[in-house]
Amino acid sequence: QVQLVESGGGSVQAGGSLRLSCAFSGYTYSTYIMGWFRQSPGKEREAVAAFYTEGSTTYYADSVKGRFTVSRDDAKNTLYLQMDSLKPEDTATYYCATRQGFSSGVGSWWTRGTEYPFWGQGTQVTVSS
C-alpha cells in the first residue's frame, strides 16, 4: 500500500522560504512520478511541480518556476519542495501525489491531479504580506 505523508508547512512572511517534505512508502515500481499540488479555498487544485524518476526529470508550473525546487532523497524515501521568495498567493494546502508503474512517459498530463491515484493528507502553507 502506497503511503505519502507531507510535513514542513507553516506560516512565513512574504519573501521567506519553506521546505516541504513528502515521506513515501509501499512503492513496488522503480518508475514513478511524484507531484506537488496546492489548493486554497474557493480555487481549483493547481499543479506546482513534479519529479519523474526517468532521468530525474523535474516539471514546474509557470507560477513557481525559478522560486520552487523539487528534489528527491532516495536514502530517506522523501520528496522535497524547496519554496523560496514566497508570495501571499502561494498560500494554500500543499499535497504530494504519486503514480507508478507506467511506461508511456510523462507529458502535459503531469498537471492533472486525476492522473495520480495516491495522495497525502496535505500540509498548510500561509504567506503573509
DSSP string for residues in 57-84 = EEEE-TTTTTTEEEEEETTTTEEEEEE-
- The pLDDT score that the predictor gives to residue 57 is 95
Q: Is the pLDDT of residue 74 over 90?
A: no
Mean pLDDT of 19-28: 92
Q: Is the pLDDT of residue 103 over 80?
A: no
Q: What's the pLDDT at 102?
A: 79
Higher pLDDT, 30 or 4: 4
* Amino acid, res. 128: S
Q: How confident is the model at residue 118 (pLDDT cuts 50, 70, 90)?
A: very high
Give 22-54 as a DSSP string.
Answer: EEEE----S-EEEEEEEE-TTS--EEEEEEETG
Any idea what DSSP says for residue 104? S
Q: Work out the burial of residue 75: count CB atoms within 10 Å of its CB; fewer than 13 is exposed, 13-18 middle, 19 or more buried.
A: exposed
* pLDDT-above-70 percentage for the chain: 100
Confidence band of 18 (pLDDT split at 50, 70, 90): very high
Q: What residue type is assigned to position 103 of the chain?
A: S
For residue 21, pLDDT over 80 is answered with yes
H/E stretch holding 12: strand 10-13
Residue 78 pLDDT level (bands cut at 50, 70, 90): very high
